[in-house]
Structure 1
Amino acid sequence: MAETMYSTEALSTGGGRNGHVRTTDGLIDLDLATPPQMGGSGAGTNPEQLFAAGYAACFHSALQGVARQRNASLGDSSVGARVSLHRTDDGGVGLAVELEVVIPELPRDEAQELADLAHQACPYSKATRGNIEVRVSVVDD
């Protein structure tokens, strides 16, 4: 196994989707609640929101890395992640992700090229590749 650059831990207690999560350093310390769309109270965050936040930040970092390699300026860029739960053909539940990349200072084709390269470099993209549907799009806003 390759050298570990960073490692962290989190613990879920009290019932999963209707429980609590906390990282060992205490920086994340959140109540969880099933969203109303799934019959829950929505009185806390949920795993999909946490995954969306993590994926958006990781992808944005990968985008910055490939832009540096290409000597491209991202300016006031942003990455949005929409994580969806859906029923699978076998009756289970699956995930899908839509990543929306905004790079206002670059032409759309150049921005899409950087987004595609970031999708190859991003650790979240590597981890999900072949496991869940991930769509990467460059958008205006």
Structure 2
Amino acid sequence: MAALRTLQPLARQAPRLASTARAPMVARRFLNTDTAPVLYSAHAKVVGARTGHVEGDDLVIDLTMAKALGGPGDAGKTNPEELFAAGYGACFQSAMNAAAMSMKIQMPEKKEDSIVETTVHFVGDMKKLDMGIRVDMKVKVRGLEKSQLEKVVEKAQEVCPYSRATRGNITTNIEVEQL
């Protein structure tokens, strides 16, 4: 009986140890978002949910329900998934530029030589109100060796605020391609 009590703490840790053994080790930065200084704040007011209107400091957007979700998919309007895809892609590309600079890797000067295509998939079951998102990202860069590009993308995943916010919460698949 005493031997069982001795082994119980190890048995409780086994699933946690097994899961960490399989997961790749990613350097973790510890930023206390409650106390860190605010660098910038963005504000948006939404009226009317997915078929409404959004206003922000420098933003005016009309929303529509995507056709795939049973809505009209009105031309000239957007939806939360497109907005998230745009924000994540832009943030990730900025993180790539910053990561490359910190690694003394020269990113291309022409904007069209560095492209991030982000697809946000709305997944789940609407009837059960059990929905989520999954992200597929294609990173295409001209002028870098594939190994350099992979290092830049790996570092960008560590520093991009969107990547950090979604890590462990949603699946993000990143495909790297040389242009």
Length-normalised TM-score, structure 2: 0.73
Partner letter of residue 118 of structure 2? Answer: A
- Matching residue of 2:86: 53
Residue pair 2:121, 2:134 contacting (<8 A) in 1 also: yes
Q: Does 1:102 align with 2:140?
A: yes
* Aligned residue among 103, 123, 134 for 2:172: 134
Determine helix, strand or coil for the equivalent of 1:17.
Answer: helix
5 Å-filtered alignment, 1:1-141, equals 1-14=35-48, 16-23=49-56, 25=57, 27-43=58-74, 44-75=77-108, 76-87=113-124, 91=128, 92-140=130-178
Runs of 4+ aligned structure 1 residues displaced above 2 Å come to none
Gaps of at least 5 residues in structure 2 are 1-34
Identity, in percent, stands at 38
CA deviation digits over 1:39-83, x for unaligned, max 9? 101112000000000001100110000100111112121211110
How far apart are the structure 1 equivalents of 2:133 and 2:37?
Answer: 29
Shift of 1:123: 0.2
**Number of residues paired by the alignment?**
136
CA deviation digits over 1:17-44, x for unaligned, max 9? 1101110x2x211110011111101112
Which of the pair is proportionally richer in helix? 2
Length-normalised TM-score, structure 1: 0.91
